Homo-oligomer: A and B are copies of this chain.
Amino acid sequence: MGRPRAFDEEQAVRAAAELFAVRGYEGTSVDDLVTGLGVHRGSLYKVFGSKRGLYLAALRRHLDEEVLPLAAALREADGLGALLAQAVAAFDGGPAAGLLLSAAVERAGSDPEVGALVGEGLAALDDAVERAAGTPASTAGVLAATVLGLRLRARAGLGGPSPDAVLAFAERVG
C-alpha cells in the first residue's frame, strides 16, 4: 500500500559515495546531496535518518562494492609486482579507494563507527597483500600503506610516481 518509491536507493547511495569522496563529509552539504542524487529532502531523511546515516551507508557500500572486491582481486595477483601494478591500474580507472582514504583522514578519528569501517577496509588490503605478495603479515601492512600513499598522491592531483616507477620499485622489493 502507499505510493511507490520513485528513486533507486542503491543508485542514490552510489552517487552519495562519489560526492563524499570528492568533497569530503563536511564539504558536502545536504543541498548538494539533494541536487546530486535527485532525491527529495524528506525522502532522504525518511530512508537514511540523517546526513551521517547516508554517509555510513555510502561508506559501507564503498567497502562492499569497491574496496573488498579490489582486495579480493589483489589476493589473486601473482607476486608483489603484479599486485602493485594492478593496484595502480585500479587507481587510474576511477576514484577507487577515494572514499576510504577521505574517511580515514577526515572522520575515522572522531567517529568510531567510521573508524570501524575504515579499519575493516585497511585490514582487507593488508590481508590481500599478505596473500599475494607472500610477505609475512608484519610487512604486509607496510606495503598496504604504500598502496594507500600512492592513492593519496594521485588524489592530491600533484602527479605522483609513474606506473613504471612503481614497477621498478616492485622489482627491487622482490
Name the residue in A115, A153, A164, A165 with the highest tally of chain B Cβ atoms < 10 Å from its Cβ: A153
| Interfacial residues of chain A within 8-36, with CB under 8 A of chain B in the complex | 22-24, 26-27
Copies of this protein, total: 2
- How many of A's residues come within 8 Å of B, CB to CB? 48
A143's nearest neighbour on chain B, judged by CB, is B169
The smallest beta-carbon distance between A65 and chain B, in angstroms, is 21
Q: Does A49 contact B (CB under 8 A)?
A: no
Instruction: Give Cα distance in the complex from A80 to B161, angstroms.
Output: 18
User: Which A residues fall within an 8 A CB radius of B?
Assistant: 22-24, 26-27, 101-102, 104-106, 108-110, 115, 118-119, 122, 135-136, 138-139, 141-150, 152-153, 155-158, 160-162, 164-166, 168-169, 172-174
